[in-house]
Amino acid sequence: MTPPDLLQAVGAVVKAFTDLEVAYFVGGSVASSAYGVARSTLDVDPVADLREHHVDPLVARLSDACYIDAGMIRRALAQRSSFNLIHLDTMMKIDVFIQ
């Protein structure tokens, strides 16, 4: 995974969160490398304040660029856990944690 791949994968998710006015922050090794200790893995683990009304618009915005499943998101919301999506061009997996 190269930095441009990472930016392409994460950029789609960040833009969707921003457009839908979902509060979020980024964790994982990318955040650790940027703000602390560099790590060899490249993963991004956003924490997002997603709500039920965000699910369908989020899926609609990301479905062309990512594998994303509305049912998985709804289960994560109900359980206050996480779901993942896969950016199709880079095959990067992004784990989204529900705030």
Partners of 96 in the β-ladder: 83
On the question of pLDDT at 54 being above 60, the answer is: yes
Rg (alpha carbons) of the chain, rounded to whole number: 13
On the question of pLDDT at 31 being above 90, the answer is: no
Most confident of 5-9, 22-26, 73-77, 86-90: 73-77
Contact indicator for 97, 48 with CB cutoff of 8 Å: yes
- The fold of the 3-98 domain, in CATH, is Beta Polymerase; domain 2 (3.30.460)
* Sequence ranges of the domains in the chain: 3-98
